[in-house]
Structure 1
Amino acid sequence: MDILLPILIVLASVVAMEWIAWASHKYIMHGWGWAWHRDHHEPHDNLLEKNDLYGLVGAAMSISMFAIGSPLVMGEAAWWPGTWIGLGILFYGIIYTLVHDGLVHQRYFKWVPKRGYAKRLVQSHKLHHATVGKEGGVSFGFVFARDPAKLKAELKRQREAGIAIVRDSAGA
């Protein structure tokens, strides 16, 4: 029973990180942080992108929570949930790296899913990349993917309203 609460904290942290990643992606990366994120939306042959700096921000969040939870750093007044929150952030970072960078953008391995949720993840993130520039867009999350048909309809609405420039190949 002593391990149940830490496991729940880790799981809740992973889920919370998807919401934090969604909000950060929509309002920071496609807002005032576009300078770091832009190259992720443009073709290039570089091994690394400025966008990878956001991974360092996530790592700093995780490390900070580990430090807050560590009695070696904080003394006897350490906040014990910090360690488990830091672990949840770390797990989310691993999931993000495998799903977004690995599966969707194929930076580490080549596999194109033919069906199931993995295919839906790839389709919805490809629709995210269907817009030109930082305005408009859909599918700002990284792990939870909405129905691609609904995302296409939203892209079509944004294009017709003049909110976003949508590439012709997006199907919107």
Structure 2
Amino acid sequence: MDILLWILVFLGTFLIMEGMAWFTHKYVMHGFLWKLHADHHRKDHSSWWERNDLFFVFYAIVSISFFLSWKYNDLWIGLPIGAGILAYGIAYFTVHDIFIHQRFKIFRNANNRYAKGVRRAHKMHHKHLGKDHGECFGMLWVPIKYFKK
């Protein structure tokens, strides 16, 4: 197996996951599964766990399925795809849950241009408490306008 092809599939999967996250966020979370996502926009609960966290579980199952297809079905591409989904999940969790929403109190002082832009974009997303009229559904790549002062 050519390592370059493995790396390209891994990186491609990671990049595609941002598009999948955007699509899922806009059309699934703010669509027919709003009941699972609503508690993330309206902090009317005291639990650390949110129903919204079930979306992480879904993507974890997809990632694990690719790892299993690699291990048990000898499908080589399952490993870089599973790893790409896992890496994106870790990046998403780090940026969204740890950095932006401070579920764990670290990265509080990050104040570089990228951090400010991501924070601004997410703040604009959360100004809409309902499922309609949302904006900025991506996470790691947000529109340029949020990086300007």
**Which residue of structure 1 aligns with residue 85 of structure 2?**
89
Give 1:1-172 correspondences, 5 Å limit.
Answer: 2-43=2-43, 44-70=45-71, 73-74=72-73, 78-110=74-106, 111-148=108-145
Normalised TM-score (structure 1): 0.79
Bigger RCO of structures 1 and 2 (CA < 8 A, at least 6 apart): 2
Give the paired residue count: 145
Asked if the contact 1:124–1:147 (Cα under 8 Å) also holds between the matched residues in 2, the reply is no
Asked if the contact 1:123–1:148 (Cα under 8 Å) also holds between the matched residues in 2, the reply is no
Identity between Structure 1 and Structure 2 (%): 43
Normalised TM-score (structure 2): 0.91
State the one-letter code of the partner of 2:128.
T
RMSD: 1.7
- Tell me, what secondary structure is at the counterpart of 2:68? helix
Q: Alpha-carbon deviations, 1:19-51, whole Å to 9, x = none?
A: 001000000000001011000001133110000
State the one-letter code of the partner of 2:127.
A
Q: Alpha-carbon deviations, 1:84-108, whole Å to 9, x = none?
A: 1000000000001100001111111
What stretches of structure 1 of length at least 5 have no aligned partner? 151-172
What stretches of structure 2 of length at least 5 have no aligned partner? none
